[in-house]
Amino acid sequence: NAGVTQTPKFRVLKTGQSMTLLCAQDMNHEYMYWYRQDPGMGLRLIHYSVGEGTTAKGEVPDGYNVSRLKKQNFLLGLESAAPSQTSVYFCASSKQGNQPQHFGDGTRLSIL
């Protein structure tokens, strides 16, 4: 009964380092999303995917890259981490674009 699983749950990086956040879903959903959540800002969409092999930019894509090589996985990459990217990152998936989204428990990322 896993749903959406995010790895890792916590991470501390130094400015300039790179890393990849992994999202895996076991519900055979077509759509997957990456959000960041900051105090007072709600959720802001970084990138999303409407199917295997596709990606699209959301509201705040700068400084991030994504890949959807397999239907069940959606990777979020930070090429050169900056303190402004300190945030909680959430992955979500949905069967279709107008269906409810299922969320993971988040990754808390600090950039020093």
Residue of 25, 74, 101, 111 interacting with other proteins (CB under 8 A): 101
How many CA atoms lie within 13 Å of 64's alpha carbon, on the beta-carbon side? 27
CA–CA gap between residue 27 and residue 78 (Å, rounded):
26
CA–CA gap between residue 20 and residue 79 (Å, rounded):
9
Residue of 19, 45, 77, 86 interacting with other proteins (CB under 8 A): 45
Instruction: Say whether residue 42 binds other proteins (CB under 8 A).
Output: yes
Interface residues toward other proteins, by CB under 8 A: 4, 31, 33, 40-43, 45, 48, 50, 56, 58, 90, 92, 96-98, 100-106
